[in-house]
Amino acid sequence: MSRLDLSPLYTLRTADVYQALETSPQGLAGGDPETRLSLYGPNVLTPAPHDPWWRNLLVHTTHLMALLLWGAGLLALLTGEPAIGVIIWGVVLVNAGFSFWQEYRAEQAMEALSRMLPAYARVVRQGEERLIEAPQVVPGDVLVLAEGDNIPADARVVEEYGLRTNNTTLTGEALPARKSAEPSLRPGLTELERPNLVFAGTSVVSGTARAVVYATGMLTQFGRIARLTQAVREPPSSLQLELRRITRIVSILALLLGITVFLVGTLELGLARLHAFLLAIGIVVATVPEGLTPLVTLTLAIAVQRLGQRDVLVKKLATMETLGTVSVVCTDKSGTLTQNQMTIRAVWVAGERLRVSGVGYEPAGGFDPPPEGRPFAPDLELLLSAGSLCNNSRLNPPSVEHPMWTCLGDQTEAALRVLARKGGLDEGRLAGALPRIHELPFDARRKRMTTIHSVGREEIAFVKGAPREVLQLCSHYMRGGEARPLEPEVAASILRANDEYARGALRVLALAQRQLPARSGAYTIETIEADLTFLGLVAMMDPPRAEVAGAIERCRQGGIRMVMITGDYGLTAESVARRIGMLSTDQPRILTGAELDHLTDVQLRELVRAQEIVFARMAPEHKLRLVAAFQELGEVVAVIGDGVNDAPALRKADIGIAMGKIGTDVAKEAADLVLTNDDFSAIATALEEGRAVYDNLRKFMTYIFASNVPEIVPFVLTAQFGFPLALTVAQILAIDLGTDLLPALALGAERPEPDVMMRPPRRRNAPLLDRPLMLRAFLWLGLIEAALCAGAFVTVYVAFGYGDVLGLPPWPWLEAVNPLWLPAGEVHLLAVSVYFAGVVMAQVGNAFACRSERERGRRLGWLSNRLLLAGVAAEILIALALIYLPGLDSIFGLVPIPAPLWIGLASFALGVYALDRIRKSVVWRLKLLGSKEGGKRL
């Protein structure tokens, strides 16, 4: 990284700038780039130092849940139960380590995904324009800048046409800054205020330019403030706030239950304080879901990685939670819904309509009818010349790396170059005969672009843009090689041709020219773009992407409204929208930007609420206003775009989605998601994954909370009725962070359910922990598990003749079945072991029941979640190890269980699953009956 001495740089003339930076207009030559790269280093920002690993680990040991467990462990030590205290502390440390590791893996996954989308820069080297990765830019490189580009390094402007840059990241100034190639001699200006300098981290709002790099990496203006920028912490997402709320509620509930058990046990039941205190600690440990936080992080990370495999780059984990709530998708047309591979199919010139053959950017094909010897031949040559000269693109012939013709620059302009070559135009000779001297860049508001060329001592302007916008500036049209007055009848025929092309889903451009009078001042839009001579129309096909129609159908089935917002002509937009299935009405309204300007915010909200509309001829501020209107109606809005004119709306949207290949740097920077392969169908997949994330969070929360009930019940029974304790604190922790953990992880990785895109989007503020979830977890699945386990515990006592310990009468028939006899102490350990194994086996059935709140396991596919099968197998193996392995059994207070009892315990899994399956069927039938009754009433 380096910064050449620039103290006089902004005061120098262009020729002296090249000399000072030891380069030339042809750029660096030979091995200069490699030499300078090794000398100055790559053009990257040094990342801010991360917090040390131990500090991040410490964060996971000091949140509310952890502090509660720290306190419980300390009290256990102080009351003479060191084993329990050490186990509780060990759980805190293990849970913190797991959370830290999952967070680290999520960060690594996000960094890996971000490397899928490298930044590029266009430079001149050895006289040729090249596209290189931005880190390869070195001082002395000549940058080629165009609208929508991110500027990769600090540079001195040496040539520009209407260049304006967005310096908000450096100065905070919202208005674009006008840039110039002239020396800046005014004293007292800072470097950021110099009009001939551009800076890394800023972007090109409009215009084109060339600039010579003088600073890269950390020595740029952006690099100076990079550390401050990197140090800013993002505010917590809504999911993080929700998790904090759940943690706070559960922790307070656990503490209150523990205090209640302690007070009731000591004051009403006369339990010893130590005994009551240990019961209270058990209640706290049983209630706190120790594995909740890392499971949430892992669920989000798995979804992000799955989308990464589908070429969707998600910049932040928190984005996944918002995806599931999207209710409106606003999309651009050109390059987003269409392939942005322009091929000109037709030309209107001098009243004649010509068909054009050929495919792609290969300049093979011709005109029908052929122009040779026809009266319109000179008019066509003028049209082709205008399209070639009013152009900043470049065609690249086939090469070893690219076996087909490709283009560098705007695809529409590349199509005009292809058309010129099909007409036999010698572009090199033409550019030499009419050198460009100025440019009025394309602007999304005026929808046209103008270049000015010298012809001897005279000057001529060529204009291209939207047909209506160009035609209204014309006073003449070209016919037979001469300019004739533009009569209303001719103008009407031009507009008819434009509309017919547009109805055929063709994108239409108009071209015009003007012989300029002697110049007396600066080139301005008002003085140049007036009194034009109309040359003709070119109509190009930009076919819809093959995958678009299917993706739109999936989104609409999911209750998501699809809206087209384009800067293109209304009839073209409507034709494309109908072709891809975006419209359901025969006569949709086409609302233009000019009409939008006359609507109040209230009128606009009512309009978008009630009608199916195609928004055409929209400027960036119109798109921004439409997104705001949908949001004010309570909609969660996703915006899809690829151009610089989409960037404001991408930032305003709840979810911004940019195209990765054809998207501008500004659009990709503004977006939350980037489709790295420009596959529109991945949008439906992303929305599907967003919904699945919410479902999966609820699945494993239900699974975790359900096991809390059979863990809490033994302590309540002991405190209230004096029953022998059926489950110890150590065993609870073995369940929560041992046997339950892997199945919970597997539920977090569950694939989207078959009907996930057949449901309406969930509300933005819908809580994760709501009443249906709590009722199902605590009062249904949890009570089933508790009843089964308590029944097994009682059965063991009664079978061995100790029913009186529980206050139960003897059951002779059960005692007769059991030929064994054990002392009371061993019977208690066996009953505890059976209760522990019963919780584990019931959780096996619970895991399969929690795969869906509504679907049957058969429809989901019994083997579709192999991670769950592995998790359940691991769950059973861990339980067997704790029960049968010498050493572990004594640590956790367990004894071997006779084989016949495992038959009954295995039925717990089937019983939990079967009962929840019956509940799902009843609920489904009730809903079906309700929908039929509603239909009859209608």
Residues marked as catalytic:
332
Structure tokens at 62: 């000091």
**Rounded alpha-carbon distances, angstroms, from residue 775 to 242, 705, 778, 782, 917:** 19, 10, 6, 9, 16
DSSP string, 377-425: HHHHHHHHHHHHHS---EEE---SS-SS-EEES-HHHHHHHHHHHHTT-
Sign of CA dihedral 717, 723, 728, 731: negative
Structure tokens at 254: 């656990």
Structure tokens at 244: 């904090």
Beta strand 613-616 with 448-455: parallel, antiparallel or unpaired?
unpaired
- Determine the Cα–Cα distance for residues 259 and 728; give it in Å rounded to an integer: 18
- Determine the Cα–Cα distance for residues 736 and 704; give it in Å rounded to an integer: 8
CB 497 within 8 A of CB 348: yes
| Chain centre to alpha carbon of residue 758 | 21
CB 894 within 8 A of CB 833: yes
Long-range contact list for 448-455, CB < 8 A, 24+ apart?
448/529, 449/390, 450/390, 450/525, 450/528, 450/529, 451/161, 451/389, 451/390, 451/391, 452/516, 452/523, 452/528, 453/389
Q: What length is written for the chain?
A: 938
Residue for token pair 């293990």:
94
Instruction: Report the 10 Å Cβ neighbour count for 832.
Output: 23
Structure tokens at 808: 């139960």
- Determine the Cα–Cα distance for residues 141 and 26; give it in Å rounded to an integer: 10
Within 127-272, residue ranges assigned H as helices are 168-171, 221-231, 238-267
Long-range contact list for 120-123, CB < 8 A, 24+ apart?
121/149, 121/152, 121/153, 122/146, 122/149, 122/408, 123/27
| Helix axes 238-267 and 273-287, enclosed angle (nearest 10) | 160
- Determine the Cα–Cα distance for residues 693 and 591; give it in Å rounded to an integer: 37
Query: What b-and-e string marks burial along 120-137, b requiring 16 or more CB atoms within 10 Å of the CB?
Result: bbbbbbeeeebebebbbb
| Helix axes 411-422 and 377-389, enclosed angle (nearest 10) | 140
CB 123 within 8 A of CB 137: yes
Q: How many helices (H) and strands (E) does the chain have?
A: 35, 27
| Helix axes 899-937 and 824-849, enclosed angle (nearest 10) | 40
Structure tokens at 461: 């302007």
Instruction: Report the 10 Å Cβ neighbour count for 82.
Output: 12
**What is the SS3 assignment for 709-728?**
HHHHHHHHHHHHHCCCCCCC
- Determine the Cα–Cα distance for residues 511 and 418; give it in Å rounded to an integer: 16
Structure tokens at 907: 């039925």
**Rounded alpha-carbon distances, angstroms, from residue 590 to 3, 77, 415, 565, 885:** 53, 74, 28, 10, 74
